[in-house]
Each structure stands twice: as structure tokens, then as C-alpha cells.
Amino acid sequence: MMPTLANTPRRMVILTDGYSDSNVAKTAICVVRYKPEEVVAILDARAAGKTAGEVLGVGGAIPVVARLADARRANTLLIGIAPSGGKMPPHWRPIVIEAIRRRMTVVSGLHDLLKHNAEFVAAAEEHGAALVDLRDNDESDVASGEPFRRECLRIHTIANDCSVGKMVAAVELAEGLRRAGVDAQFVATGQTGMLIAGSGCAVDRVISDFVAGAAEKLVRANEHHHVVVVEGQGSLFHPRYSGVTLSLLHGVQPDGMVLVYEMGRTAVHGMEQFPLPPLRRVVEYYEETAAILHPGRVVGVSVNGRRFTDAEVAAECARVEDELGLPACDVIRHGPAKLVEAVRAMAGGST
Amino acid sequence: MMPTLANTPRRMVILTDGYSDSNVAKTAICVVRYKPEEVVAILDARAAGKTAGEVLGVGGAIPVVARLADARRANTLLIGIAPSGGKMPPHWRPIVIEAIRRRMTVVSGLHDLLKHNAEFVAAAEEHGAALVDLRDNDESDVASGEPFRRECLRIHTIANDCSVGKMVAAVELAEGLRRAGVDAQFVATGQTGMLIAGSGCAVDRVISDFVAGAAEKLVRANEHHHVVVVEGQGSLFHPRYSGVTLSLLHGVQPDGMVLVYEMGRTAVHGMEQFPLPPLRRVVEYYEETAAILHPGRVVGVSVNGRRFTDAEVAAECARVEDELGLPACDVIRHGPAKLVEAVRAMAGGST
């Protein structure tokens, strides 16, 4: 479960220096989107003087600054990127050290744990600063395979690739269900989701034998809700992360899945030699694979249309609805109403 | 890769106390089968006075003893079990402490690492004994997805369940290929295989994001051979370990797979509420899943007939050959010749 965050209220500077315009800034983008009241500034020297809205596409007037000294109200430095493999850019080390000297809490979701860096640990001890590694965990239980509470409907976001918006779709769906009066809970399985939910487990950092067990425990801890919406990780079609995805899928045993993909992407992100399969094939393979343990079906599609116009996204959603016979929407552009209806229809009268 | 083993030559007592007759003693059974010259005794008080042959079914006259004092020639204590979840039985702690006091090297493949036990570490420092955790690793690289050397044929043992004999099938097949003059190498992916091969990585202990990367590195380190036979782990059909299996499968990208199963088993070992699928379905699903990255096909079947008579196993092999159209044999009873031929046929003239 989640390590304690030292500062309350949390007032963050989000470090994206050199990466604000890149796909790896997804941690920054999502925290700004869902926790803007906790964000004092973005730190990216190249974009200093602009706003978060201009640089990240979210966050409105939140300023982008060049130095920690330009965000004196902040009490927390958040590492705002999620690169493949989870290593920190070398030129960020002096920025982290400066934050520690300012007695700020440093929060990181990288695989390169802060607590394993002797320089950071020594500085934190000297200055009385806290280091928080969101991905750190001591999960060591295998899955029990015991059934979940029947009255709890489990929804899981799945995808054809990584970095397509599985977390966003899960957050938006859970919020949409709540607005519709359903007792729904978002369950975070990655570092950014944990910052938004305030709890969870970064399953991609768990020892592989225990990932399904960790996922099962996350669901078990929330099964008193009518609906749990569990954030997916990676993809069964990803050369690096397929096993993480499968452990999570089999640990969660979803009743329903929401397929997420990004319009226009034709190959695995960052591994262009691997083409992505047709969406129909993605749906079939996930349903077949889930059914090894529990019959779950894909009930809707979340289209990430961030690189396209309203008209293009609307046409894509119509095309996908026709092709797959499933409701499709861009949750950021259209809201999650179609997915909310699909989940309510699954649950019949009970929600 | 593998931690250094401190004593050469290694003279082991294998600790199975209370578990010799159980499925979890597979580490002991396999080390006795493939490294009998390194085994001084088995330690199991209940069976003391018997032989390994009587108690484990392998190892002939190797004695079973009640106390370390009855195996004074030994310089190494090997933890001889592989329980689900990897925890040490509490009553073994004093035996481990006694071994440390005798300055024996203690070798363990459990998830409960020796180095995380303060009592063991303090005693080892005091007495100058070495602690070796076979499952310990610092793997932190994601898979590259880069192609392997074309001239290296990759064979992988797969299964419908855990604890069916995937490692044994891989060792026997690699040995059979070598006897037939093929430059073949067994590649270990679990703690017992590592003891036999002298190298490898226990992939089920690797952080989930890095399992495919660790598997890829194991193959890369051996791709100068004409054939690599990579030990499988778990099963795509296992509620606990399916993700470990998938990461390994996608990291190895096998050209050929050998399906291993145990005759008479109808449900997941230790999780009887999950029935095992038909063998034909197992073959289809593995081929479909491997093909996401690389087309690999099942080329033979290794039947573990340990609970049945020669006649029953022969009938089973004939039945399976007929049903699946694949060569089938019990590698312990019949030797691996049929599988060797299947692999040589795949390789055409090149091996």
C-alpha cells in the first residue's frame, strides 16, 4: 500500500525539466489534471515563463518556472515523468539535492528508488527532508484465488499498448459512476494513480510471483463498494510488460473491461518494429485470456483522440462502435457517460 | 545471474525435514537426480536411516540423516524445498543456525531471503559462514525486443500447471541433443535449474517490469549455441503465476515449445477449484500467445507419468500423440529421443 506523504497540505512543484512536451510527462499531466489545487508550479527551464496550460495542455495558469527558488510556497518536489525502465535523467540530481536542502519532501514514482541513492539519503538525513518512493513495496503474498464478494462488480481498463490513457479512463469512469449515484471506487495500480487516489500499489514494481496476489488484495480492500474500477497496466500485446498486464488481469478477475487506445498509433510506443493488432483481435484475446479464470467481457471503448480534431474523433468513435458493436467515447472530450451507461447496464438493477 | 557458491567442491546436505514425501521437495529431488556426486546426505528426522532412493525415489544409497552431526563431510546446507510463496518452515531455523555455527555455506532458493533474516546474518558474520540466496537478483532492464541471432534455435518448455517437470524436460532434452552431437545449452530460469546449470536467473523473483528483459538477457548470453533449451516457469493457466510465464515466454520468443504435463492431474496443483483445460486448448493458447511477438509452435509433449505404470504411461503417450499429432514421451522413463528428433527436424540440416 501507499507510503505516507509527509506534508499536509501538499504543495507541489512538478519536475519535468526537458520532458514537458514528451510522452513521458504523463505523471505531470495527470496530477495537474486531477489535483491542480496541490500544484504550485512546473519546473522546466526551457519553458519557464509559460503556463502549464500552454506546455502540458492542462493546468491553466499554473506557472512554469526555471528554478526551485521561483516556487517558494512549495513543500514537495514531485518527479513528474514515467520513462520506460524508470530511470532518472542524470541532470535532475542537483535539482533533487537542492529540494532536499530546502527541506522539501521529494516524491518519486521511478523504479530507481530515491532510498537506494546514497547521496539523496545522506542529504535527506542531514536536512531532515522526507523521501517518498511511490513504487516501493514489500508485497510477498501469492494470490489466493478465493472468490470476491458477488455484489461487487469489477471493471478493469485494458489496452493495446502502454501510455494510452488507461488510468484516465478508469478515473473518469469511476467519477462518472459516482455522479450517477453509483457507489464506485477507482483503484490505483500505478504511481500516478496512487497520487490521485491516495492509496494503491505500483504493481509493475512488485516481485513477479506476487503481482496477482497484490492485485487481488487491492480489489479485496475495496470490494465493499458496488463497483470497483481498477486501473490497467501495460498491454497483453506489449513485448516488455505483457506479463505485468496478465498478472493484474488474473488477480482482478474483471466482470467487465473497458478497452483504451490512442487514435493514430499503429505500432508499440517506442518499439516501432512491433505493429499493433486490429482492435477486434485485442477484444477477443483479452476476453479469451480473462476467461481462463473468470468470464469477463469488454463493455466499452475509450478512445484517446488527443492528436485529432473533434470531428475526427467523433468519426472514429462512430466507426469503432460500428466495427465492435460497443459504445465508444473520448472520456476527456465527451465525458464518460456512454461507459457509465454500459457499466450500469451490466449491473442491472443493483447499482 | 548466479551468486558465487563459496565451497568448491560442494558437498551438500539437503534439508527436506518433514517434506521429503511431498511435492514441494522438488528442489531436493532434482539436485539429487542431476548432481548426486555433490550430495552427502538428506536431512529428514522422520526418515532417518532410510536412503534417498527409498524416500525421494532418486539418489540410490545416499543416506537420510536426522542431524547435521551425522553428515560431517558436508560443507554446504541446501534448503531443499520450493513451497508456493517461498517461505521457510519455522522449525528449520535452528537447523540453519546450527549449519552456520558449523561454518557451512547455506544455499537457499526461497523467496524469504537468508540475507533478510537478521539472526542468520548475525550468526554468519560471527562464524564466518556464507549465505547464498539463489533467488536474489538486481535485474532492472526492460526487454529490448531486438531480434536474436537467426542461427540460434530457441526451445522453451511450457505447461498446463506448475510443478509438472518443465525443468526436468528441459535438462533431459538439452542433454539428449548434446548426446546426438548438437551444440545445445540448457538455460535455467529457476533456483533448482541454477544449481544444475551453474548459472541462470530465478525470474519469478525479478521485479515484474523486468522479467521479459531478464529472460531476453539469459537467451542473449547463450545465443552462440545452435540450440538453447529454456526452462519454463508456472503456466499461462495458473491463477498465481500466469504473468511470470507470459513475461518469460515473450522474453524468450521461442521457435519451438515442448508441452509438459502430469498424468492424472485434473486441477491446478493446490488450487483444486480451478480445473485444468484440455491439452489441445493448452497448445492452441500458447501458440496464439507466443505469436503476438514471434511465431512459435509446440513440437512435442513431455508426459510426467510418475504416478503410473509403464503400460499406463505408454498408452497415455500413444493417446496424446494421436490426439495432438505430436511426438510424446516420458523423458525419465523413455529418454528424450522423440523430442530430440522433433527439435532436429525443426532445425533442418543446421544442427
Give residue for cell 530515491: A114
Residue that has been written with the C-alpha cell 525435514 in this structure: B17
Q: Between chains, do A85 and B140 touch, taking CB under 8 Å as contact?
A: yes
**What pLDDT does A5 receive?**
52
Please list the rounded mean pLDDT of every run of 10 residues in chain A (351 residues): 61 95 87 96 97 95 97 96 85 97 97 96 98 97 96 98 96 98 98 95 98 98 98 98 98 98 97 97 98 97 97 98 98 98 83 48
* Bridge pairing between strands A267-268 and A271-275: antiparallel
Residue where the block lists cell 509403464: B310
Contacts of residue A203 in chain B, CB cutoff 8 Å?
A: 208
Residue with cell 535455467: B188
Phi, psi of B163 (to 5 degrees): 55, 50
Q: Contact at 8 Å (CB) between B293 and A274?
A: yes
pTM, rounded to two decimals: 0.95
Q: CA separation (Å) from B123 to B69, B97, B107, B110, B131?
A: 18, 7, 15, 19, 10
In chain B, what are the domains? 12-133 (3.40.50.720), 153-350 (3.40.50.300)
- pLDDT above 90: residue B78: yes
**Residues A112/A88, Cβ–Cβ less than 8 Å:** yes
Question: Which amino acid does the sequence have at B58?
Answer: V
Question: CA B65 to CA B14: how far, in whole Å?
Answer: 10
pLDDT at B20: 87
CA dist A39 and A56 (Å) reads 13
A246 CA to chain B: closest CA distance, Å? 5
What is the structure's pLDDT at A87?
A: 85
Substitution target from A217, A240, A272, A285 for chain B, most B beta carbons within 10 A: A240
- Residues of chain B contacting A204 with CB distance shorter than 8 Å: 207-209
Statement: residue B5 has pLDDT above 70: no
Percent residues over pLDDT 70 in chain B? 97
Do the chains contact at A204 and B207, CB–CB below 8 Å? yes
- B348 pLDDT band, cuts 50/70/90, is confident
Give the span between the Cα atoms of A92 and A119, in whole angstroms.
13
Of A145, A240, A243, the CB nearest to B239: A145
Count CB atoms within 10 A of the CB of residue B278.
11
Within 10 angstroms of residue B273's Cβ, the number of other Cβ atoms is 10
Q: Measured between alpha carbons, how far is B184 from B192 in angstroms, rounded to an integer?
A: 19
| Cα nearest neighbour of B203 on chain A | A208
Q: B185-219, pLDDT tens digit by residue? A: 999 999 999 999 999 999 999 999 999 999 999 99
Q: For residue A137, list its beta bridge partners.
A: none
Region for residue B50 given its phi and psi (left: phi exceeds 0; alpha: psi -120 to 50; beta: otherwise): beta
Residue B208 neighbours by CB under 8 Å, 6+ apart: A203, A204, A205, A206, A207, A208, A211, A243, A244, A247, B243, B247
Give the cell for residue A260: 483504451
Provide CB contacts within 8 A for A48, sequence distance 6+. Answer: A64, A65, A66, A70
- Rounded CA-CA distance A299/A261 in Å is 14
Q: Which of B240, B249, B268, B276 should one mutate to test binding to chain A, selecting the residue with the greatest count of A CBs within 10 A? A: B240
Residues of A in contact with B145 (CB under 8 A): 239-240, 271, 273-274
3-state SS, residue A300: strand
Q: Give A98's DSSP letter.
A: H
Chain B positions touching chain A (beta carbons under 8 Å): 84-86, 111, 140-143, 145, 203-209, 211-213, 236-237, 239-248, 250, 271, 273-274, 277, 285, 288, 292-293
What value does the mean pLDDT take over residues B9-15?
95
Distance CA B168, CA B57 (A): 15
Tell me the residues of A at the B interface, defined by beta carbons under 8 Å apart: 84-86, 111, 140-143, 145, 203-209, 211-213, 236-237, 239-248, 250, 271, 273-274, 277, 285, 288, 292-293
- The model's pLDDT over B154-182, given as tens digits with 9 standing for 90+, comes to 999 999 999 999 999 999 999 999 999 99
Angstroms from B271 CA to nearest CA on chain A: 8
Is B205 within 8 Å of A209 when comparing Cβ atoms? yes
| Contact flag B293-A239 (C-beta cutoff 8 Å) | yes
Residues 6+ apart with CB under 8 A from A187: A170, A197, A200, A218, A219, A222, A228, A229, A230, A231
- In which band, very low, low, confident or very high, does the pLDDT at B8 lie, cut at 50, 70 and 90? confident
Does residue B308 sit in helix, strand or coil? coil
Yes or no, beta carbons of A145 and B273 under 8 Å apart: yes
Beta strands in chain B (DSSP E): 12-15, 39-43, 64-65, 76-79, 105-108, 131-133, 153-159, 184-187, 227-230, 256-262, 267-268, 271-275, 297-304, 328-329
B272, three cell numbers: 483444486
How far is the C-alpha of B188 from the C-alpha of B196, rounded, in Å?
8
Subunit contact B208:A213, Cβ cutoff 8 A: no
Q: Which chain B residues are Cβ-neighbours of A241 within 8 angstroms?
A: 142, 209, 212
Is the CB of A208 less than 8 angstroms away from the CB of B211? Answer: yes
**Partner-chain contact A274 B237, CB within 8 Å:** no
Q: Read out DSSP for A99-164?
A: HHHTT-EEEE--SS-GGG-HHHHHHHHHHT--EEETT----------PPPPTTPEEEEEEESSSSS
Q: Cα(B29)–Cα(B19) distance, rounded to whole angstroms? A: 11
Kindly determine whether residue A243 and residue B244, on different chains, have CB atoms separated by under 8 Å: yes
ipTM of the complex: 0.95
pLDDT of B1 reads: 45
For B93-140, how does the pLDDT look when each residue is reduced to its tens digit (9 = 90+)?
999 999 999 999 999 999 999 999 999 999 999 999 999 999 999 999
What does B18-84 look like in DSSP terms, one character per residue? Answer: TTTTSGGGHHHHHHHHH-GGGEEEEE-GGGTTSBHHHHHS-STTPBEESSGGG-TT--EEEE----T
Neighbours of A118 (CB within 10 A): 8
The verdict on a CB contact (< 8 Å) between B208 and A243 is yes
**C-beta atoms of B243 and A141 within 8 A:** no
CB pairs under 8 A between A and B: 126
Using 50, 70 and 90 to split pLDDT, how confident is the model at B270? very high
For residues A164 and A160, what is the distance between their CA atoms, to the nearest angstrom? Answer: 8
Name the closest residue on chain B to residue A246, using Cα atoms.
Answer: B243
How is residue A9 written as a grid cell? 497540505
Task: Give the separation between CA A179 and CA A171, rounded to whole angstroms.
Answer: 12
Pairing of strands B105-108, A328-329: unpaired
User: In the structure grid, which three cell numbers stand for residue A297, read together?
Assistant: 467481457
Q: Does the distance separating the beta carbons of A271 and B250 come in below 8 Å?
A: no
